Structure 1
C-alpha cells in the first residue's frame, strides 16, 4: 500500500483507499462486492468517508448497473458536492432515475454555475419540472443564466459574490462580512461598485484583513481590473485568466452592471475541456468519453470515417489515372505510399501546432504571415532532408538514377504542400468562423495524399520511367 501524504480537505480514511491520487482497484472491487450482496450498509460504510470528488470517481469506476444501488446506499451522503464533481454522462444517467423534486434539492444547494451545468443537460420537460420545484429566487437566477449562449461567461459565472460601495471604510466592510446573511461561501476578492452597481475596483481579502479599519475603501481598492462581458465565449474567458493570472473576475452585462463572478476553479475545468475537445475533434472521436453511450459514439465516428472514406476514394482516383504507368514499373506502387505517408505526417504536425496556436491566441492576423514563412522553412528543410535520404536509399536498392531523382523531387514537393496546407487550411477555416479543430484534418489529409500520388506518379510518367530497374 502506497504511503500517501494526506491532502487538504481529504478525509483521513481515504489514505487507505487511494494510490497515486486514484481509488485502488481492490477498494472498488470491495464496494461492488457489497452491492452484489445487497449489503447497502457495507457499501455506505466504505464509500461515505471519501472526499466528494472521490465518491464521484467511484460512480464512474463501477459498472453502470451498480450506480443506482450505490446512490440508494449512500442516501444523504450523495449530496450536491458529489453530483457537481461527477462525469457528465454518469451524472446524466443518475439524474434520470431521480425525481424532479430530488434534482431540485440538489440544484438548490449548489452555486449558480454548478446548478446551471446540471440543469442545462436535462431534457426540456425535465428542465421545466425541476425549475418549477425550485424556490423563486433560485429559479430566476438559473433561468437568467440559461438565457445566455452556451459556453459563454453567462453560463459559467456564479451569482454569489461580495460587492461594497467605495464610500465605506474597511471597518464597515469587515462588519458587513461578519453580519451579512447568505454571504457567498467561497470568495477571494471583494468588488467595489458605484451607485449604478457598476464595478469600479476590487480588493483582495488579504488587503482588507491587514488594513486599519478607519481607512476608506476608495484608498485601498485596485481600480484596474479585467471585466468579462456576459456573452464572451468561455475559451476567451480562460485565455484572459491565463494571460493576466486572475483568481476571479467580475462579469458585466451589456450596460456594464456587475451580474456575476467567475473563479479560477471553474477555469481549470474549461482549459482541460477545451484542450481535450480540440485533440478529439482533430481525430473525429466525438467527446472521447468512455462513459458516453454507444448510441451516440458510433454515429459520430461513423460519420467522420465516412468523410475520410470519400477523401480516400479521391486519392485512389489519382492513382487509377496512372494505372498504366504503375503497371509498367511496379516499383512505383512500392514507393508511392512513402511519399503520401510522409506528407500526411508532416501536415499533421503543422496542423496540430497551428490549431493549438489559434486556440491559445498565439496566432492572429498580425503574425499569420510570419507563421506561414516559419512553417514553409521547416517544410523545405524536412522535404530536402528526407528527399535526399530516400533518394540515396532508392539508388542503393534499385540502382535507378531517374527513379531516385523522381522520388527525391516528389518528397520535396509534397513536404512543401504539407507545410503550407497544415497552416493555411486552419487559418482559412478560422477566417470563415469554422472551427479548424473539427474540419482541418479532412482537407489537409486529402491535399497531401492527392499531391503525394500526383507528384510522384506524374513525374514518373513525365520522365518515362517505364522499365524495370536493374
Structure 2
C-alpha cells in the first residue's frame, strides 16, 4: 500500500467533524473518515477517532457503515473494541459480526463483559458456538454464564447479572465498606447490598446511600430492609419489567427455586426490555413479527408474506359479501361510491379500540374484573362517535347525490359498523389471548375482516330494503 493511501494518525489539535449531526444521526463527515481508515487499514487512526466514544455511539456508527466494512472495522480496533457495543446493535448486524470473528477473539471480548451482557450476546449463537466460546473462559465465568443460559429465554435468569455484593447480617457497616474497597471482583455498577443467611438465601437488602450514611460500628442486620421482593430466575422478563415500573425499582435480587440469591437485575436492562416489548407490540400490530430494519430483503419479504396471505383471504371474504348484492349495486351505482367510506370508518375505529385493548392486555390492565366495564365504555364511545359521523356523512351523501334516503342509509350503516368495530376491537384480542395466540400479531387481521364484512353487508342490505332494490 502506498504512502498516499495511508490515513495519517488523528491529530488531537485538528478539528474533526462532529460525531452526530443536528438531527442526532452519525454525521456524513465523521463516517467518511471512518470509512477511509478502514480502507487504508489504519488501526491507529480508527482508535483515535472512536476510542473515547460511548458504546451506543459506536453501535450507531457500525449500523451506518456499509455491510462489508463492519467486520474489518471491529478487527482493526482489536483490543480497543468494547464488546458491550454488540449489545446495542440490531440482531442481524450483531450476528453478522459474530460470524466474522474467531472464537478466541469472541471469548476474550465476552470474558470482559458483565454477565448479563455476555449472556445477551451468547444466546444468539448456536449451542456448538456457545460451547466453543465457553470452554475458552475461566471456570468461574463458564459456570456462571452456562447457568444463566440454562434458564428459559426471556426470563429473569437470562436478564440478571451474576456479579453482586452479598454480606452476612452479623457484619458491621465498617466491615462491609472495607470489603467493597478491597475486593477486586465487584460489579462495575450497583445500587444496593444484599444480605444473605448461611444458606445464601436472601433475607434483606441495604441501599448503598443508606449504608454510607450509617456509622461503621452499626450491624448490617440493624439497617437492612427485610421487606424484599426478589424475582425467581424463571420469572418472565415482562413481569419483572412491570414490577420495576410499578414500584420504581432501581435493582432487585434474583433467586433460584430454593430461594438462594443467584443474581441481580438492573434498571438499564429493564429499560431495554420495556423498549423491546413496546417495539414487539408495535410490529405485531402490523403483522411484522420480529423484523429489524437491518434484515435482508428475502428474510423481510418472507416474514411479511404470511400475514399478507392471511389478509388476502380475509379480503376475499369481504368481496364475497359484496358479490351477494351485485344486483343492488347495479341498480344504484352511488352505493359503490359510498361503500368504502362505511368499511374504512369501521376499520379505523376498530383499530383504535384494538390498539388500546392489546396494550391493556400486555400491561395486565384489562382482565375479568373490569372486562364488562371496559366493554360498556367502548360500546358507548362507538355509539357516540357513530352517531356524530353518521350525521356528517349522511348530510354529505344527501348533498352529493341529492338523495336524503341515501344519506339516511349510510348514516345507519355507519352507526352499526362503528358499534361492531368497538365490540370486535375489544373482544377479538381478549379471545385470542385466551386461546394462546398473540393478540398483537393476529388481532388486526380479524378486526379488519369483521368491520369490512359488517360494513358492506349492513350498508348494502339496508339500501336494498330502503329503496326496494334487487339483491
Please tell me the TM-score bracket, short chain as reference.
over 0.9
Deviations 1:257-278 (A, max 9, x none): 1111000000010111100110
2:330 to 327, 331, 335: 327
Q: Which residue of structure 2 lines up, in the alignment, with residue 302 of structure 1?
A: 305
Find out whether 1:381 has 2:394 as its counterpart: no
Q: CA deviation at 1:40?
A: 4.4
Find out whether 1:112 has 2:115 as its counterpart: yes
**How many equivalent pairs are there?**
456
Q: Which residue of structure 2 lines up, in the alignment, with residue 312 of structure 1?
A: 315
Q: Which moved more, 1:427-436 or 1:162-171?
A: 427-436
Q: Which residue of structure 1 lines up, in the alignment, with residue 148 of structure 2?
A: 145
Q: Which residue of structure 1 lines up, in the alignment, with residue 5 of structure 2?
A: none
Q: Which residue of structure 1 lines up, in the alignment, with residue 408 of structure 2?
A: 405
Alignment partners' CA distance in 2, 1:268 and 1:407: 48
Q: CA deviation at 1:19?
A: 3.7
Alignment partners' CA distance in 2, 1:26 and 1:142: 40
Alignment of 1:253-268 (within 5 A): 253-268=256-271
Q: CA deviation at 1:460?
A: 1.4
1:76 to 61, 76, 79: 79
Q: CA deviation at 1:14?
A: 9.1
The answer (yes or no) to whether the contact 1:164–1:192 under 8 Å persists in 2 is yes
The answer (yes or no) to whether the contact 1:14–1:49 under 8 Å persists in 2 is no
The answer (yes or no) to whether the contact 2:201–2:259 under 8 Å persists in 1 is yes
The answer (yes or no) to whether the contact 1:329–1:465 under 8 Å persists in 2 is no
Find out whether 1:190 has 2:193 as its counterpart: yes
Q: Which residue of structure 2 lines up, in the alignment, with residue 18 of structure 1?
A: 20
Alignment partners' CA distance in 2, 1:436 and 1:45: 49
Q: Which residue of structure 1 lines up, in the alignment, with residue 12 of structure 2?
A: none
TM-score by length of 2: 0.93
Q: Which residue of structure 2 lines up, in the alignment, with residue 447 of structure 1?
A: 450
Q: Which residue of structure 1 lines up, in the alignment, with residue 7 of structure 2?
A: none
TM-score by length of 1: 0.93
Q: Which residue of structure 2 lines up, in the alignment, with residue 6 of structure 1?
A: none
The answer (yes or no) to whether the contact 2:339–2:459 under 8 Å persists in 1 is yes
Find out whether 1:275 has 2:271 as its counterpart: no
Alignment partners' CA distance in 2, 1:24 and 1:426: 43
Deviations 1:196-239 (A, max 9, x none): 21211110111111100111111111111221121111111111
Runs of 5+ unmatched residues, structure 2: 1-14
2:159 to 151, 156, 159: 156
The answer (yes or no) to whether the contact 1:14–1:50 under 8 Å persists in 2 is no
Runs of 5+ unmatched residues, structure 1: 1-12
Q: Which residue of structure 2 lines up, in the alignment, with residue 127 of structure 1?
A: 130
Find out whether 1:49 has 2:52 as its counterpart: yes
Q: Which residue of structure 2 lines up, in the alignment, with residue 217 of structure 1?
A: 220
Q: Which residue of structure 2 lines up, in the alignment, with residue 233 of structure 1?
A: 236
Alignment partners' CA distance in 1, 2:149 and 2:43: 38
Q: Which moved more, 1:286-295 or 1:159-168?
A: 286-295
Aligned residues: CA RMSD: 1.9
Change (3 A) 1:265 1:459: same
Alignment partners' CA distance in 2, 1:180 and 1:31: 40
Alignment partners' CA distance in 2, 1:17 and 1:434: 44
Alignment partners' CA distance in 2, 1:272 and 1:360: 13
Alignment partners' CA distance in 1, 2:402 and 2:19: 65
Q: CA deviation at 1:110?
A: 1.1
